[in-house]
Structure 1
Amino acid sequence: MKPSVNARVAVSPFLISLLIHSMQLGVSYLSMANKPIQWAGQDTWIAVLLCGLSIHVVIWMMYGILNRNETDLIQIHHQFFGKWAGGALNFSFIVYFLLGSIYQMRLFIEIIQVWVFPDIEIWSLALALLLLVYYIVAGGFRVIVGICMFSMVQHLLIFSLVFAMPFFHFNNLLPMLDHSTNHILKAAKEITFPYFGVEMLFFYYMFAKTPRKSQKWAHLGNIITTMFYLIIILSLLLLFKPDQLSTEIWPELSNYKFVRFPFIEHIEFIGASSLIFALFPVLCLNLWASTRVMKFMFKVKQLAALPILLILIFILVCLIPDRNSIEEMRTWLSKIGFYMIYTYIPCLYVIDIVRMKVRRAV
């Protein structure tokens, strides 16, 4: 059954690129360089390109599934696996999206506590953020798309690299291809975590006015993400030695220390606070997709399910005590997301191909 999408809430196909990029960005990219650099050193930029290329293949598979079935993942699960197994898979996506939201919010609060307001309470900032998220998600899908578009202003801060250019050491990139293929692939695996979020395409595909024409824009969104991450990794490699980067918690924020203005003493305060523009699209889309799944599973309105999920997120965010717990959560999310992107989606693609051939044979 093809779910009905009101033409009034549908968006132009080119906005899919914006949604892809916004979901991939998030706050987690701040620590994307730590572990990959331990494996690939100055060749980490190659791992970024390999990871971006692999995500293009995943997007192609997702569009193959979506174009053939002309529906979203909620209905695809029911069609492929039946009511109970399909419902269980849909529920697992709710859990996955909620865990992702909890991690992103707790990480943002940690950054604000370290860089801006050391004495701020977790619960107070979490409450303020979730009230804003409720206001945005309650406005509907088009409002969320507008927030994703507005969040692009954070990219203006990339021009701060101009101040760091005099300190670039291009010798840091040499010797090139000095690491084995195995080490580069391990670095690529570690760097996949910031790319997660592309699976949200399964849920907002039907909200494009002409879904089939949105594929090129989805690939463009992934290209923008890859170029953004490539610039970040190259700038870090040019500024710091690999040994220095492997010990940094959020090396991307260290770039702001090279910026000097006579009227702003600590530009890193602005850089850390601007991460809220990366946080909101991820939180809003995760909660929108979760409430949409609950709408079809439990026959409740999205606005009725939203406060329940927000309260659950608030409680769990407040229960995460320290940085070690945040890193442990990141490790688990990285494993779950990796298998979802690189195992579950290809398996779903193969099942769909086989299913179509069987139906044609019959």
Structure 2
Amino acid sequence: MASHIQERNTVSPNLTFVIIHAMLFGIDFLLLTIKPVQMAGQDAWTAVLLCSAGIHIVIVMMYSVLNRHQTDLMNIHIRLFGKWIGLMLNLIFTVFFLFVAVYQLRLFIEVIQVWVFPEMQTWSLALVLLLIAYYIISCGFRVIVGICMFSLINTVLFLTIFFMIPYFHFNNLLPAMSHSPYDILGAMKELTASYMGIEMIPFCYTFIKTPQKSQKWAHWGVLSMTFIYAVEVIFAVITFKPEQLSNEVWPGLTKYKFIHFPFVERFEFIGSSATVLRLFPIICLCIWVASRIMKFTFSIRQIRVLPFLLILVFIATCLIPNRIGVDVVQYWIKLSGISVIFVYFPALYLFDILRAKVEKTK
């Protein structure tokens, strides 16, 4: 089976950069620094670089498989493992992407409930956001990628971190390289969830014109976010003491409290509300991929299965009651992210190579 996508539904290879940037610049970026800094302290930035190096290796493996088969991961599963196992793997990815969408949506709602409207009900905001997501997803992949462009605006808001310069304590970066490899590995494990998003590439592969040329843009997307992650971690170290950071739930939003304008008294309201630009690209891409897998598996139109998936996301989001529930979901997201990125894709790469060698010997 091969995927045949009309050219008018495809996007340029350089927009792979935008897709990766949008997926890696999600709501959980606001929580990025807490666990890594607690584990590796002032050396947490080295964990960012090492984790990024691992991600680049996984991207090379991923494109090696994709370019060899010239199709998306759904078809590759069928080719390598047969119909039934392949379909089962595709359905597992459906659950995975819906899980990510639920997590990101609930995390954003918590941001709004904590920083802007404490009395707002989870279901009301979830309903409005998913209705907007339905409109975006129903317009097709090119529109979703266009929405991903809006996530770049948050890069401008990220620059507001420089308003904190008077509060920096650069001596917090010393002594350098004083933590053990075990601490660095622990920080890398925590950072893996922040790099979740590259697994979107194998499902978007056939929607990219000359997809072989998109690999360099995927690497550039990861590099750009690695720079942002490293800066965020370093700034957290030189702004907060470790004991202070352990008491922060949203260090990525706390920096907005340092910003003061004569015409804006509470800039953190703007900063927290603007995170919606990070939300829509992720939930739209995740639900779009889930609906596409359902179309591939059950031969049903995406537009028909889309309301059903949105209802599932809505119910699951409303079932997460508080911060404890969000932490539980976050734990499983991290575990599944590590399994998919650093276990499944390398295993798929090795299996594909061994299979190709066995076929050559026959």
Which range, TM-score by smaller chain?
over 0.9
Match in the other structure for 2:101: 101
Match in the other structure for 2:87: 87
Match in the other structure for 1:238: 238
Q: Secondary structure at the match of 1:191?
A: helix
TM-score by length of 1: 0.98
1:110-152 residue CA offsets vs partner (Å, 9 max, x unmatched): 1100000011111110011001100000000000010001221
Alignment of 1:1-362 (within 5 A): 1-362=1-362
Q: Secondary structure at the match of 2:356?
A: helix
Which range moved further: 342-351 or 242-251? 242-251
Which range moved further: 245-254 or 101-110? 245-254
1:24-66 residue CA offsets vs partner (Å, 9 max, x unmatched): 2211111121111121011111111111111101101100010
Q: Could you tell me how far apart the structure 1 residues matched to 2:299 and 2:213 are? A: 31
Aligned-pair distance for 1:247? Answer: 2.2
Q: Secondary structure at the match of 2:337?
A: helix
Q: Could you tell me how far apart the structure 2 residues matched to 1:302 and 1:148 are? A: 20
Which range moved further: 319-328 or 239-248? 239-248
CA contact (8 A) 2:37 2:237 kept: no
Q: Could you tell me how far apart the structure 1 residues matched to 2:207 and 2:358 are? A: 29
1:66-92 residue CA offsets vs partner (Å, 9 max, x unmatched): 000111110111111111111111000
Tell me, which stretches of 5 or more residues in structure 2 are unaligned?
none
Q: Could you tell me how far apart the structure 2 residues matched to 1:175 and 1:164 are? A: 22
Report % sequence identity. 51
1:187-236 residue CA offsets vs partner (Å, 9 max, x unmatched): 11111111111101010011111111111000000001111111111111
One-letter amino acid of the counterpart of residue 173, structure 1: L
Q: Could you tell me how far apart the structure 2 residues matched to 1:351 and 1:71 are? A: 17
Aligned-pair distance for 1:246? Answer: 2.1
One-letter amino acid of the counterpart of residue 274, structure 2: S
Q: Could you tell me how far apart the structure 1 residues matched to 2:2 and 2:242 are? A: 51
Q: Could you tell me how far apart the structure 2 residues matched to 1:27 and 1:159 are? A: 17
CA contact (8 A) 2:172 2:237 kept: yes
Q: Could you tell me how far apart the structure 1 residues matched to 2:155 and 2:13 are? A: 22
Q: Could you tell me how far apart the structure 1 residues matched to 2:318 and 2:161 are? A: 35
One-letter amino acid of the counterpart of residue 178, structure 1: S
Tell me, which stretches of 5 or more residues in structure 1 are unaligned?
none
TM-score by length of 2: 0.98
1:238-281 residue CA offsets vs partner (Å, 9 max, x unmatched): 11112211221111111111100011111011111111011101
CA contact (8 A) 1:2 1:71 kept: yes
Q: Could you tell me how far apart the structure 2 residues matched to 1:100 and 1:168 are? A: 34
Which range moved further: 343-352 or 17-26? 17-26
One-letter amino acid of the counterpart of residue 67, structure 1: N
CA contact (8 A) 1:34 1:247 kept: no
Q: Could you tell me how far apart the structure 2 residues matched to 1:252 and 1:338 are? A: 23
One-letter amino acid of the counterpart of residue 336, structure 1: S
CA contact (8 A) 2:127 2:314 kept: yes
Q: Could you tell me how far apart the structure 2 residues matched to 1:190 and 1:291 are? A: 29
CA contact (8 A) 1:24 1:197 kept: yes
Q: Could you tell me how far apart the structure 1 residues matched to 2:339 and 2:29 are? A: 19
Q: Could you tell me how far apart the structure 1 residues matched to 2:289 and 2:104 are? A: 16
Which range moved further: 64-73 or 226-235? 226-235
Q: Could you tell me how far apart the structure 2 residues matched to 1:341 and 1:20 are? A: 14
Aligned-pair distance for 1:159? Answer: 2.2
1:340-362 residue CA offsets vs partner (Å, 9 max, x unmatched): 11111000000110111122222
1:322-343 residue CA offsets vs partner (Å, 9 max, x unmatched): 1101100100111111011111
One-letter amino acid of the counterpart of residue 32, structure 2: M
RMSD over aligned Cα atoms: 0.9
Hey, which bits of structure 1, 4+ residues long, moved more than 2 A? Answer: none
One-letter amino acid of the counterpart of residue 142, structure 1: R
Q: Could you tell me how far apart the structure 1 residues matched to 2:73 and 2:314 are? A: 27
CA contact (8 A) 1:42 1:242 kept: no
CA contact (8 A) 2:25 2:151 kept: no
1:289-341 residue CA offsets vs partner (Å, 9 max, x unmatched): 00110011001000001000001111111111111011001001111110111
Q: Secondary structure at the match of 1:291?
A: helix
